[in-house]
């Protein structure tokens, strides 16, 4: 996997303040057809047009590329919820549009990449992998996100605590399978 970093990783100027504490990750489905690399220009445009308040996350992932937009220790605008934005790292899983460019099997390869990144980030912050640290956008905000994963792994079921936990448990199991994926070196390049 190729890791690409924005200028926010090189320059002292950041968009936001530091998070008071990092408590875990939120796995998002972007509901778009964009690859991770497409978000480089997409986010540049958002900056140029002064539209960052529409939202952005730390990292954009597909099966080939990880685009690190903004350092994970800083507040992100990814959940529409102040507590989540200031305490969780947003992982945008790319090309997740339902009936979009990827079939379910291909999207699940992007998902697997996101689980590896989640495993690395949680390890970097020395956090366990559990229902407190692995979160869904819809736990914090009125949204269908992560809609693609919801439809693939749960089907057409309503949003309630039981189904939220079912999907989270699947994410947790997959993230745990990458427990030995990291080395000191990989932890240095992520976040
Ligand atoms: Zn989301």
Task: Give the tokens for residue 12.
Answer: 């002292």
At 185 the pLDDT is 73
pLDDT, tens digit (0-9, with 9 covering 90-100), for 87-106: 999 999 999 999 999 999 99
pLDDT, tens digit (0-9, with 9 covering 90-100), for 122-156: 999 999 999 999 999 999 999 999 999 999 999 99
Q: How far is the CA of 48 from the centre of ligand 1 (A)?
A: 23
At 189 the pLDDT is 83
* Beta bridge partners of residue 29, listed in sequence order: 93
Q: How far is the CA of 111 from the centre of ligand 1 (A)?
A: 14
At 183 the pLDDT is 72
β-bridge pairing 59-61 and 65-68:
antiparallel
At 190 the pLDDT is 87
DSSP, collapsed to helix, strand or coil, labels residue 46 as helix
Domains annotated on the chain, with CATH: 2-189 (3.40.80.10)
Q: How far is the CA of 146 from the centre of ligand 1 (A)?
A: 6
Q: How far is the CA of 152 from the centre of ligand 1 (A)?
A: 16
Ranges of residues in the chain with a pLDDT under 50 are none
At 63 the pLDDT is 97
Residues with CB under 5 A from ligand 1 (ion): 28, 137, 145
CA neighbor of 24 nearest in space, from 130, 105, 115: 130
């Amino acid at each position: 996997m190729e890791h690409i970093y924005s200028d926010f990783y090189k320059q002292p100027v950041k968009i936001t303040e530091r998070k008071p504490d990092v408590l875990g990750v939120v796995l998002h489905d972007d509901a778009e057809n964009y690859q991770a690399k497409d978000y480089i220009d997409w986010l540049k445009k958002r900056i140029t047009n002064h539209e960052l308040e529409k939202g952005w996350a730390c990292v954009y992932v597909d099966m080939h590329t990880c685009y690190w937009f903004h350092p994970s220790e800083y507040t992100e605008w990814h959940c529409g919820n102040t507590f989540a934005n200031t305490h969780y790292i947003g992982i945008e899983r790319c090309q997740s549009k339902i009936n979009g460019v990827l079939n379910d099997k291909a999207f699940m390869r992007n998902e697997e990449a996101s689980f590896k990144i989640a495993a690395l980030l949680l390890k970097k912050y020395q956090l366990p992998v559990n229902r407190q640290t692995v979160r869904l956008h819809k736990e914090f905000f009125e949204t269908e996100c992560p809609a693609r994963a919801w439809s693939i792994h749960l089907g057409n079921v309503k949003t309630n605590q039981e189904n939220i936990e079912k999907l989270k448990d699947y994410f947790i199991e997959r993230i745990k399978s990458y427990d030995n994926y990291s080395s000191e070196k990989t932890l240095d390049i992520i976040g």
